[in-house]
Structure 1
């Protein structure tokens, strides 16, 4: 285990029938980094990512998050510990405004309790005011003020991705797992999205773990970059170092690298 790692994946394996999707794989995500995960189709990236995110339980090995063994914990349990995930297809509440979507994120709000609404209304109102203020701050940070009262279902693909990023800011996540953040996003909004990821990392100290097929985006955002093949990590370094590795260039950059 690495001392400065916020995520440690230790000798993790996952089989589907006779297929070893991930085979005794170990890797770490350094606290404060933007770490990329790439490799050819079928390399096991998505399966490993899903095990870290709690969507798949590994057959063997451990996932350590912030010093705690979280192997097999469900996504909602990881959420409470500070690990959040965005998805290739945004999961917004389409009939609520962008602002309301952000305000839904923090858990255990006093207003969720009928007793608080009846007997401690000031507590519920005070908390709602604080959550609304934070949501407005997030919207300002992401420059989404012009759509804050727009139904989330009416937003563009890129705006929905920005909104998902904003949802991670509502709970001060320790790690954000980004799943194909570039999918369905036009170049202008993708540049905005990348710039906000950079700002969150640089100014707010967020750690990101990124699975992505857009190599230009990986090159812009990620250091280090981890390369997987046949269910294992085969290399790690800056994008320049990865691209300069003749074995990797021949095997994985001779054709477009796609998500598993």
Structure 2
């Protein structure tokens, strides 16, 4: 299978604290890959390195066959690598629809001169963006809250909206960081279903950090276990759950 993300011997320290230690993983194109591990294993730090939040101290990040080590998040975003957050980052005083319409970069209306001298082009593009946002809302079954202020949405609806943002720019790879946190079981099923639909119908690749093992079991294959900043083991969820090393690593700890 073709790898869309390759992490090659990456290390990262903060002061004297070595968080990621010669870590190497591969994420296959079209997969939903799980990333789990005990508290402090370095999962979020590895996510931040892949997403361009900060560079590694050593090692390489390859995205879609190209070395992107050290590229900032905005450049990776424009290449189709996006991440969501454990705490949703919505514009609370804008509607759900408006939140989605804000996502595409380089819109003509962002330039004041265009609004003066190219108003018809601005309106045309805005209509296209609005229609795409409406299509996303329809896909996610959020029609009933499209005109609701995003700050008034439930935790689960905000996570669905976060997922919708990735659809506004036709993401190739999405990093999901504990997307199930704070979501009730009903909306969690909607999240799972939509992730599967995006994967199967639109070809999205996902890398998922998640503490909910039921969600990992339903969505992810393979599953990578991180411990002390490096890969402990990789396999199916059944292999992971029966592995003595993994059981020992988690014993007396919370999965995060």
Q: CA deviation at 1:192?
A: 0.7
Equivalents in 1 of 2:199, 2:27: separation in Å? 14
Aligned length: 256
Aligned residue number for residue 133 of structure 2: 135
Q: Is the 8 A contact 2:33 2:220 kept in 1?
A: yes
The verdict on how the C-alpha distance between 1:129 and 1:144 changes in structure 2, with shifts beyond 3 A counting, is same
Equivalents in 1 of 2:249, 2:125: separation in Å? 54
Aligned residue number for residue 258 of structure 1: 255
Equivalents in 1 of 2:112, 2:17: separation in Å? 50
Q: Is the 8 A contact 2:25 2:231 kept in 1?
A: yes
Mapping 1:1-80, distance limit 5 Å: 4-80=2-78
1:160 aligns with 2:158: yes
Equivalents in 1 of 2:54, 2:39: separation in Å? 19
Q: Is the 8 A contact 1:98 1:151 kept in 2?
A: yes
Equivalents in 2 of 1:159, 1:251: separation in Å? 34
Aligned residue number for residue 189 of structure 1: 187
Q: CA deviation at 1:21?
A: 0.6
Q: Is the 8 A contact 2:39 2:253 kept in 1?
A: no
Which digits, 9 at most, give the CA deviation of each residue in 1:113-162, with x for residues without a partner? 22221222121111111111100000000000000000000000000000
Q: CA deviation at 1:44?
A: 1.3
Equivalents in 2 of 1:229, 1:95: separation in Å? 40
Q: CA deviation at 1:255?
A: 4.1
Query: Equivalent residue of 1:209, what SS?
Result: strand
Q: CA deviation at 1:112?
A: 1.3
Equivalents in 1 of 2:106, 2:249: separation in Å? 49
Task: Give unpaired runs (5+ residues) of structure 2.
Answer: none
Equivalents in 2 of 1:255, 1:130: separation in Å? 52
RMSD: 1.2
Mapping 1:215-226, distance limit 5 Å: 215-226=213-224
TM-score between both structures, scaled by the size of structure 1: 0.95
Q: CA deviation at 1:241?
A: 1.4
Task: Give unpaired runs (5+ residues) of structure 1.
Answer: none
TM-score between both structures, scaled by the size of structure 2: 0.97
Task: Judge which range, 11-20 or 158-167, deviates more.
Answer: 11-20
